[in-house]
Each structure stands twice: as structure tokens, then as C-alpha cells.
A and B are shown apart, each in its own frame.
Chain A
Amino acid sequence: MSAVTKEQAAATDTTAPVSALPKMKGRKVCVHYGEKQALFDVDIDILDKQVTALIGPSGCGKSTFLRCLNRMNDVVDICRVSGDVTLDDGDIYDSKVDVVHLRARVGMVFQKPNPFPKTIFENIAYGPRIHGLAKDKTTLEETVEKSLRRAGLWEEVKDRLDQPGTGLSGGQQQRLCIARAIAVEPEVILMDEPCSALDPIATATIEDLIHELRENFTIAIVTHSMQQAARVSQKTAFFHLGKLIEYGDTEQIFTNPKQEKTQGYITGRFG
């Protein structure tokens, strides 16, 4: 078999396991909120340029884990994180790590679109400006256009960049937030239920966008919609009561899960 046909075979073989190098690693990650333990010894790899979906019933710890990946839990006073979380093998909880810099490398998109009460342009320009990524006005304008294009929003907003971001529709606002997140050229994007406030069409647009963003970014997404996890991700992790129950290729999780609990949850037997 020639090299080309081998590649073709690999591309069409949907049963081939997903493999890529880990971009981020969690090892024995535990989280306590005060006395209450929310996560128990979670070991997981977030693979480079892949989409990893975190699923599980409410309170299972999936969002808590996601928030460990860019130290968003630091802002919660009673929250205590132990274990190791690394980004490119560097410990992100090291005391020398600049959290602002870390969050520029590991960006986040939230459940509810939360654009700044500023113009569309300023929403995108804010990050590159404070991180000193744009040396002049032209570069900044280029960055704004590039980010909006990557988020699939440019054509819809290019004539009204000076209008407030809050005037956009819900789906457009969420894409604006994604554009804002990617404007600082992060390596990883965390998404915490990014479509839960959107209608099916806006959801489909975001899912399509996630698919395209995977070319350049590593993505971890928390979602309550199992169908969405199945549609957008290559790897799926199932959490239950603070424990990682199963982690595997998305196709395997949804056709042939190894754990009874995973099967019970995804087939709608408990939640």
C-alpha cells in the first residue's frame, strides 16, 4: 500500500482511535469547596487540537474541572485545588505562574454570552491591547478583523463595528465572545455550556465554528447536551459525583461505553 492510500485509509477509517499529544494534563486533581470535596483524583488528558467534551449530570464536577484548567477556581475563596494540572508539561499552579498570562493562553467562553458594554470593535480589541499584542492601530484593526472572521461573525458585523456588542443577537454575542477569546491567540479554549442559551440554529453555527477552530486550537467543552458532545468532540469524559467514570473516543463512548454508569447516563436511565 502506498503512503497516499494509507493516508486515505486512515482518513476514512472512523473506527481508528483518536490520537494526539496531550496539550494539558490533569493528574490526581482534587477540588474542595470548603469541607465539601467536589472532585476526586481526576486523571485526564486534553489532547492537542482536539475537542474534548466533559459530560455528566448536574453537580458531577465537570465545570469544576474545566475551571481548574485556567485557574478560574482561584477567584472562589473557599475553593482548594490539589493535584497537578499542566499545560505543555508546565505546572499551571506553580507560584511563579502569572495567572493573567495563563488565561491568555487558556481562554474561556461562558454559558451566557457576556460581551463588554462597549462597541463590537472594543470587545475584540481589549484583550490584544492589554496584552500588548498590537503595536499600532493597523495591526489592531487587522487582529479584530481576523478574529471576527475566524469566529464567522465578520460578514454580519463589519459595517457596524462601532455599535455596542450587547445589541447583537444571542448567537452573535456568543460568537463575539469566542472572537474575543481567540483575539489574544490562546492555545486552549475552554467552553462552559456555550450553547445552552441559544436556539438550534445559533447552536449549529457555534458547533460548526468549534469544528473549524479545532484546526488551530485545543478545545475543552462542558455540555449538558449529549447529542452536542457526540457531534462536536473527538474525546469524551464522563463525570459522576466528582469522579471521572470513563474517558475515551467519543464514538466509543456513544456506541459502546465500557462502564455501566456511562451507559446508564447517556441512554437516559439516570441523571
Chain B
Amino acid sequence: MTVDSGHIVAAYDDEMQQLTRLFSRMGGLAEKQLAEALTAVERRDLDLAGTVKDSDRAIDDLEHEIDALVLRMLALRQPVANDLRYIISTLRTAADIERIGDYAKNIGKRTIAMSSVGTPPMVRGVVRLGRLVQNMLKKVLDAYAQGDIQKAVEVWEADEEVDSLHTSLFRELLTYMMEDPRHITPCTHMLFIAKNLERIGDHATNIAETVHYHVEGVPLAERRPKADASNYAVVTPGEETDK
């Protein structure tokens, strides 16, 4: 039984379908934003970076539309059971997507900022992290649309890889900075870009947890495996990195 059909009150079905449409559009935009932000970093494409920066507004607007529709549905329909879980999950996930949009926008801004300070290091590594996260995002949005728990759990587990990749990038970028102070500006931007990507991965896992709740009605019980050690990472001059 899908949530957007079969209600005695047909207007309720219409609202459900409208919610699904708004959400798919929002998810699609976020995927596009992330993909283009990564391409902009990879090719140092300032025009594309500018487009990414300016397009975030559309995602924010969609989030407001979803907020308003959900508020209306809660007030007028008093949803219960799977309808309630779907509506609340969509509201929650829209907030995750909005943040993902913000991170993509920030990557665009940093790409523009870095253009004046020479070739940034570690572009390939950071882009690799980005493509990994991009796949997670795509997969988790599919899982959302299809109510596919298996896929959601795979995304949830994949975040461990993102975390460890982020930690190793962090250490490498610190090493670069120690080698030459002129690297500090681009490396710091790259650090933030990597951090943004790692955060997008976290939001993707949030969405995976939400998919689980929506479909099963219970939260994912276990604790997620974590491998982000960058909070504790210290590199002192002269130390070898562990790449």
C-alpha cells in the first residue's frame, strides 16, 4: 500500500503526491548541485562554481514549500501510521537535503576563492571522496523513493569508508601545509571542502536511518560504525604520513 493513493478523501492523495513531487525535485537538485560542485573543483571551472553558488536558492525554496505543505497536512489531515511516518520522514529528510545543498554551495564558493592562489593540492583525493559521497546520496534517494531498506542500510554502512578517507585526506593536507606555508590557504580550503563532503555523507546516513524508520516503523537499532578520526588527528613536522 503506497501512501499516496487509496484515501477516501482524494484531496489527501493529491497532497501526498504533491509532497512526493516536491521532495523528488529537491533531491534531484541536490544531486545535481553536488555533482557540479565536484566537477568545478576537478576542472577549476569558475563559471560552474558560480552556478552552483547561485542555484542553492532553489533548494531552499523547495524546503520552505515542503515545510508549508507538511504543516498544512498535519493540521488538516491529522495523519497516522504509515502516512504519518512518511510525512514526518519527508520533513526531516528535506532538512538534510537543504544542508547538503548548503555544503555544495560552500564548495562552489571555495573553488572560486582558491582560483587566485595557484593549483590546490590533493584535488584528486578530494574528488574521489566526493564521488563516493555522490554515490551514497544517489543511492539513498533511490532507497527513499523505493522504500528499499537494503539499499538504505548499504549507504549507512558506506559512511565508514567516507570517514576513513576523510581522516587520511586531513592528515595529508596538514603535511602539505607544513612543507610550504604558501600551501596553507589552498590546503585550508581543501580541508573544508573535504569536511563538507564528509558532512554530506553524514546527512546521507541520516536519510538512510529515516528510510528505515519510515518503512519499518522502528529506528535502526545498532550504532553506526564510525571511522572519522580526524577530530583527533595530529601531525607534527618531520612525521611520515600513513598513506
Q: Which residues of A contact B (CB under 8 A)?
A: 226-227, 230, 254-257, 260, 262-264, 266-271
Contacts and interface: CB of A to CB of B under 8 A. Distances in A.
B81 A256 contact: yes
Interface string B76-88: 0111111111000
B6 interface: yes
B9 interface: yes
B216 to A, nearest CB: 8
B80 A230 contact: yes
Nearest to B9: A268
A257 to B, nearest CB: 5
Given A256-B218, A266-B81, 18 more contacts: A230-B80, A254-B81, A254-B84, A255-B80, A255-B81, A255-B84, A255-B85, A255-B217, A256-B85, A257-B81, A263-B1, A266-B80, A267-B79, A267-B80, A268-B77, A269-B1, A270-B8, A271-B8
Contacts, number: 43
19 contacts: A226-B80, A254-B80, A254-B81, A255-B81, A255-B85, A256-B81, A256-B85, A256-B218, A257-B81, A263-B1, A263-B82, A266-B81, A267-B7, A267-B80, A267-B83, A268-B12, A269-B1, A270-B8, A271-B8
Interface residues of B, number: 18
Interface in B51-92: 77-85
Contacts of B12: 268
Contacts of B79: 267
Question: Main SS of chain A's interface residues?
Answer: helix
Given A255-B217, A256-B217, A256-B218, A227 B1 contact: no
Contact of A269 (B7, B77, B85): B7
Nearest to A269: B6
Contacts of B8: 268-271
A60 to B, nearest CB: 16
Contacts of A260: 1
B218 to A, nearest CB: 7
B81 A268 contact: no
B51 to A, nearest CB: 42
Contacts of A255: 80-81, 84-85, 217
